[in-house]
Amino acid sequence: MTATWNGITKSEVLGDNETAIRHNLADAAKAYNWNKTLEILNKRPDLINVTRPNGRSLYTPFHQAAHGNAPIQVVQQMVAMGGWRTLKNASCQRPVDIARIKAHQQLIELLEPVYKIYVPYETLASIQKHFHAIIRGRVNDLVEKSGLRLPELEPLLEIEQPRMWFPVPGMYGGFSYWFNGKGENLKLISESWCRVVGGSGERHEITSKEGKLVDEGFV
């Protein structure tokens, strides 16, 4: 199954019911109520990496588990649900960073990121910068309107099937992206489209040096 980068941060984009569910999840995790947190996540595992609507800290349930020294079994379940160890909050902290700051030694090894692909940090940052420019070049108005958190590429390095989908509200589509190649030949491939507009597909190849359009008119 393709992983999804859920970049929605505004409650007005989510609707009342979805907003309520996400607030309930954030409240339970912040209160260290792990039974309720897992009860919600077992019904909605797709919310494991989301943050509170209109929130500023960008804490996910996974970050709260690290902060609250959750039992190992709870953290293991969150890992199994697809919690991203590399996802950062607004202070650029991963769950493992929070565990270290709080001296929660039992969680540090479990929260340490396990990379399936290695990409130097500088290379990854450059590719991400070009990718964001491509997204904004195509749908900046929708990004601003919905207050979207643009995809961060580090979680892509830790998932078993390194492909991700970024849906854009109002686009009737989004961006599918994955890594191709290794080392100096590493590229991020991005395909984006609007499913209600024929021939709207665009394919970009993105390196640390540039992002370029290599195909269009499909879908």
3-state secondary structure of 158: coil
CATH code of 97's domain: 1.25.40.20
Question: Same domain, yes or no, for 91 and 125?
Answer: no
For the chain, what is the domain count?
Answer: 2
Q: DSSP of 16-49, one letter per residue?
A: HHHHHHHHHHHHHHHTT-HHHHHHHHHH-GGGTT
Q: Which residues pair with 84 in a beta bridge?
A: none
The pLDDT tens digits of the residues spanning 71-124 come to 999 999 999 999 999 999 999 999 999 999 999 999 999 999 999 988 999 999
Question: Same domain, yes or no, for 68 and 139?
Answer: no
What does DSSP assign to residue 170? T
Structural domain including 193 reads 121-216
Question: Same domain, yes or no, for 129 and 103?
Answer: no
Question: Same domain, yes or no, for 132 and 159?
Answer: yes
Q: Determine the pLDDT at residue 204.
A: 98
Q: Which of 111, 137, 152 is the last residue of a domain?
A: 111
Question: Same domain, yes or no, for 83 and 127?
Answer: no
Residue 116 covered by a domain: no
- In angstroms, the CA 50 to CA 121 distance is 24
Q: Which of 111, 129, 160 is the last residue of a domain?
A: 111
Q: Which of 111, 133, 165 is the last residue of a domain?
A: 111
Residue 85 covered by a domain: yes
Task: Please measure the distance between the N-terminal and C-terminal CA atoms of the chain and give it in whole angstroms.
Answer: 21
Using the CB atoms, write b or e for 165-177: b if 16+ within 10 Å.
Answer: bbbbbebebbbbb
Question: Same domain, yes or no, for 88 and 136?
Answer: no
Residue for token pair 């892509």 = 156
The share of the chain scoring above pLDDT 70, in percent, equals: 100
Question: Same domain, yes or no, for 128 and 50?
Answer: no
Q: For the whole model, what pTM was predicted?
A: 0.94
The pLDDT tens digits of the residues spanning 1-38 come to 689 999 999 999 999 999 999 999 999 999 999 999 99
Question: Same domain, yes or no, for 98 and 136?
Answer: no
The pLDDT tens digits of the residues spanning 173-206 come to 999 999 998 877 889 999 999 999 999 999 999 9
For 200, other C-beta atoms within 10 Å of its C-beta total: 18
Question: Same domain, yes or no, for 30 and 87?
Answer: yes
Question: What token pair was written down for 63?
Answer: 């970050």
Q: Determine the pLDDT at residue 1.
A: 66
Q: Determine the pLDDT at residue 184.
A: 74
